[in-house]
Structure 1
Amino acid sequence: MTAVARPRILVVGAGFAGVECVRRLERRLSPTEAEITLVTPSSFQLYLPLLPQVAAGVLTPQSIAVSLRRSRRHRTHIVPGGVVGVDTRAKVCVVRKISGELTPRAYDHLVLAPGSVTRSFDIPGLAEHARGMKTLAEAAHLRDHVIAQLDLADACEDEAERAARLCFVVVGGGYAGTETAACLQRLTHHAVRRYPRLDPRQIRWHLVDIAPTLMPELGEALGRSALEVLGRRGIEVSLGVSVAKAGPDEVTLTDGRVLRSRTLIWTAGVAASPLIATLEADTDRGRLVVAPDLTVPGLPGVLALGDAAAVPDLAAGADGAVCPPTAQHAQRQGRTAADNLIATLRHQALRPYRHKDLGLVVDLGGRDGVSRPLGIELRGLPAQAVARGYHWAALRTNVARTRVATNWLLNAVAGDDFVRTGFQAWRPPTLREFEHTDAYLTPEQVRAHTAPLRTGLT
């Protein structure tokens, strides 16, 4: 007698959605019920909401990178790489390993949680000169870059060049961009005291966004409160404005202003992973269309969730509403996806995803914050306490919580440090290189790689 092969579950992505799905599968499935594989470039889960604090040096990079191999329940096979194409007919994913090797990997059940990439536009010079805030490497690199600008400005004799090095432009008035501008402004404000040749009034921070209000996700009142905090710190906020073009030492805005700057930080939203385009399936604003139970219509055995999926928001009570790309939805979708996979294996009914949004929290550094948990508007220290408490509780392991709490305490007692760690390369990496957005295959290339496995399917 031959042994019955275990169903192969392939999970793509180690963000909030993918990791939560894998953890629940490991807890609720016996080893004999399924073989679980996770494809991810790095064997850690990144807690994205705290990236601005890494860039500001409040937290160390390791404190928000939670290892996937620490759990004693760990039995998932982790493949170090990224899925760059999917052939749903052959039930095969094409994986580009971190070595660059392309290899096919077959599946019986596929969970697509590849997340998102920084949303960019066809703006001249943007791809070459903008810096993102989406990966751990970008945050560490940005910290080095900002401190380097202070060092270079201090050593500079040319006033025009000094002014350009001390001018920083952040594009994106959502919570990511606002937190980035707020945290890094505090870093430069404290650091400049150690540079006797620099006048603190020379440091200029600009926050630019095409939207008419700051952080519209939080509502108009809290947006105004955040605007007041930024104004008190000297951050110049320009709303209804975007970038027309970018160069190595200047940024031209759509209202005609030219800002002499060596630093353009781009946080203007996110877009679904380019992987979604390889499936040739229906999308909604770039996100894969899915049913309320997270299955993909017309693609048997495929579930999609997280930032890359347009998951119907049943709790919103509005026709056509989809869940926003936030961590709280991604985590809970991961649990629902795991439960529905288990139900499929055990021939049980699937359940739809439903979760009422708990609100957003924004930590502006120092004693400032704006938050709206469960619809309650908070400002100042109470808002920041709620924000940090939420983030601390959301970290997956006690080790991560201990590291983050220790970093916060040390920063509160000892203040900031201004050490450049050497992550800055001689040639600044681009958004494309940090996020590998050019690594994906076309549908035709995917079929070419999976052709040997498609024999017998026609």
Structure 2
Amino acid sequence: MYTALGLQKKLRSREASVTVVDPQPHMTYQPFLPEAAAGSIEPRHVVVPLRRVLKRCHVLTGRVTKIDHAAKTATVEALDGHIEEVGYDTLVVALGSVARTLPIPGLPERGIAFKTIGEAIYLRNHVLSRLDLASTTDDPELRRRLLTFVVIGGGYAGIEALAELEDMARYATRYYDTLDQKDMRWVLVEAAGRVMPEVRPSLGVYTVKQLEERGIECFLDTRVKSMEDGHVVLDDGTEFDAETIIWTAGVKANPVLANTDLPLDQRGRVLCTAAMQVQGVDNAWAAGDNAAVPDLSKTDEDPAATCSPSAQHAVRQAKQLSKNIVRVLRGGKPRVYTHKYAGSVASLGLYKGVADVYGVKARGFVAWGMHRAYHVSRMPTFNRKVRVAFDWLGAWLFKREVVSLGQINNPKAEFDRVTRG
């Protein structure tokens, strides 16, 4: 979206035609998914409608299933199921990433990913509905299972999802006469020996301590062996039942890339130059999570270093990419993508966070404020920046909303019950 936005601003009238193909009619700002799931931000405000902002582009809602760059065509499956071939002169591959899965028994059936706005809304309703169910049952085993929540993966997505959802659920228990905060069990499982490798180790240690002080169990250097029927088995011998299992154990490049004639690295990403041109291929570019773009800030230490899959890189690359494409179209030369590492910020729930920005580390309320300030500044469009800010103001004045709208998962259930008598 950012690349197309830059192109429509820089290209002259009739100089080129820009077509954007995406299975969703919007772009999701993923760093705000945890707050959307926790009720601090309205879910609609963390997505940007493509047709509204890309007024000079053609937006095609469909899924790319194949790219034949030699023939300059992309195969697109439209929403109604029909297949069409879309021709092009210049290709930009920005397919992003998908959840990385492992062959763990029960994962496909029990795991809930955290990559889309739909999954964020589902998780919010799911967690609150578990509280509703637990408050009405007399079965202690079922109650314990309903109130056990597991997050697998200690990267940014996992830590923020865990912290925000636990914060929301703990706040919600005040409205239940039969529930107490101590009735809930929240568990983090991470295969590595630390969480959030993007920040300095001391902040990772601080994050774990903060989570443990809130009663969250943190299993580091631990792997999940099985989760069949919600029965979680860890490789250290720990076993328990959980009704909610959230999977955030990393990402991988979109598997559609395997169905292209573009050069890929060992991780399935498109091989690119530092200017984001696809290596050895004319008129093809790539950026974001699906692109192996050399990280020039680290090449002195590691010549093979590539940019990490993060929103920070994706947004910056897209802006540089649109400029490079225009330069090449007009006979110029592209410029390499360089960046100065700004740092990292993470929310640990309302008024809590960690930050490591330009070598300065912060914790608690200050870090939480830095997290919000940074991400609202990066949120696309002034419209969405204002809406997010007003959501925060409303949540501060009137407290967060903790109502479950689980009916949206099966909206016809009540009507079907009535019509069947």
Q: What residue is the counterpart of 1:11 in the other structure?
A: none
Are positions 1:350 and 2:296 aligned together?
no
Q: What residue is the counterpart of 1:405 in the other structure?
A: 389
What is the RMSD computed on CA atoms of the aligned residues? 1.5
* Superposition deviation, residue 284 in structure 1: 3.5
AA matched with 1:51: L
AA matched with 1:365: G
Are positions 1:36 and 2:36 aligned together?
no
Contact 1:145/1:424, CA 8 A, preserved across alignment: no
Residues 286-305 of structure 1 aligned to structure 2 (within 5 Å): 286-305=268-287
Alignment partners' CA distance in 2, 1:115 and 1:240: 28
Greater relative contact order: 1 or 2 (C-alpha under 8 angstroms, separation 6 or more)?
Answer: 1
AA matched with 1:381: F
The 3 A distance-change label for structure 1 pair 120 and 421 is same
With the length of structure 2 as denominator, give the TM-score of the two structures.
Answer: 0.94
Q: What residue is the counterpart of 2:372 in the other structure?
A: 388
| Higher mean displacement: 147-156 or 279-288 | 279-288
Alignment partners' CA distance in 2, 1:284 and 1:384: 37
In structure 1, which of residues 273, 287, 293 is the aligned counterpart of residue 254 of structure 2?
Answer: 273
Task: Give 5+ residue unaligned stretches, structure 2.
Answer: 412-421
Are positions 1:25 and 2:7 aligned together?
yes
* Superposition deviation, residue 112 in structure 1: 0.1
Per-residue CA deviations over 1:227-273 (Å, capped at 9, x if unaligned) read: 12111211111101121111233211122211210100001111101
Are positions 1:153 and 2:137 aligned together?
no
Alignment partners' CA distance in 2, 1:130 and 1:233: 24
| Higher mean displacement: 418-427 or 273-282 | 418-427
Per-residue CA deviations over 1:394-449 (Å, capped at 9, x if unaligned) read: 1122221111111112212222222122355369xxxxxxxxxxxxxxxxxxxxxx
Partner SS for 2:193: coil
Contact 2:150/2:244, CA 8 A, preserved across alignment: yes
Are positions 1:365 and 2:349 aligned together?
yes
In structure 2, which of residues 357, 362, 366 is the aligned counterpart of residue 378 of structure 1?
Answer: 362
* Superposition deviation, residue 62 in structure 1: 0.9
Residues 133-282 of structure 1 aligned to structure 2 (within 5 Å): 133-280=114-261, 281-282=263-264
Alignment partners' CA distance in 2, 1:395 and 1:206: 31
Contact 1:46/1:136, CA 8 A, preserved across alignment: yes
Are positions 1:107 and 2:91 aligned together?
no
Q: What residue is the counterpart of 2:49 in the other structure?
A: 67
* Superposition deviation, residue 299 in structure 1: 2.6
Residues 87-102 of structure 1 aligned to structure 2 (within 5 Å): 87-102=68-83
AA matched with 1:55: A
Are positions 1:48 and 2:30 aligned together?
yes
* Superposition deviation, residue 46 in structure 1: 0.9
Contact 1:140/1:423, CA 8 A, preserved across alignment: no
Contact 2:126/2:406, CA 8 A, preserved across alignment: no
Contact 2:23/2:62, CA 8 A, preserved across alignment: yes
Alignment partners' CA distance in 2, 1:286 and 1:229: 36
Q: What residue is the counterpart of 1:314 in the other structure?
A: 296
Identity %: 38
Alignment partners' CA distance in 1, 2:211 and 2:326: 48
Alignment partners' CA distance in 1, 2:7 and 2:98: 26
Alignment partners' CA distance in 2, 1:41 and 1:396: 19
Per-residue CA deviations over 1:47-88 (Å, capped at 9, x if unaligned) read: 1001011111111111111222334x7210000012111111
AA matched with 2:122: H
* Superposition deviation, residue 319 in structure 1: 0.9
Contact 2:188/2:216, CA 8 A, preserved across alignment: yes
Contact 2:51/2:59, CA 8 A, preserved across alignment: no
The 3 A distance-change label for structure 1 pair 423 and 288 is farther
AA matched with 1:179: E
Partner SS for 2:62: strand
Aligned length: 408
Partner SS for 2:95: coil
Per-residue CA deviations over 1:192-245 (Å, capped at 9, x if unaligned) read: 121111232120000110010111210111111111211121111110112111
Partner SS for 2:18: strand
In structure 2, which of residues 72, 82, 101 is the aligned counterpart of residue 120 of structure 1?
Answer: 101
Q: What residue is the counterpart of 2:310 in the other structure?
A: 326
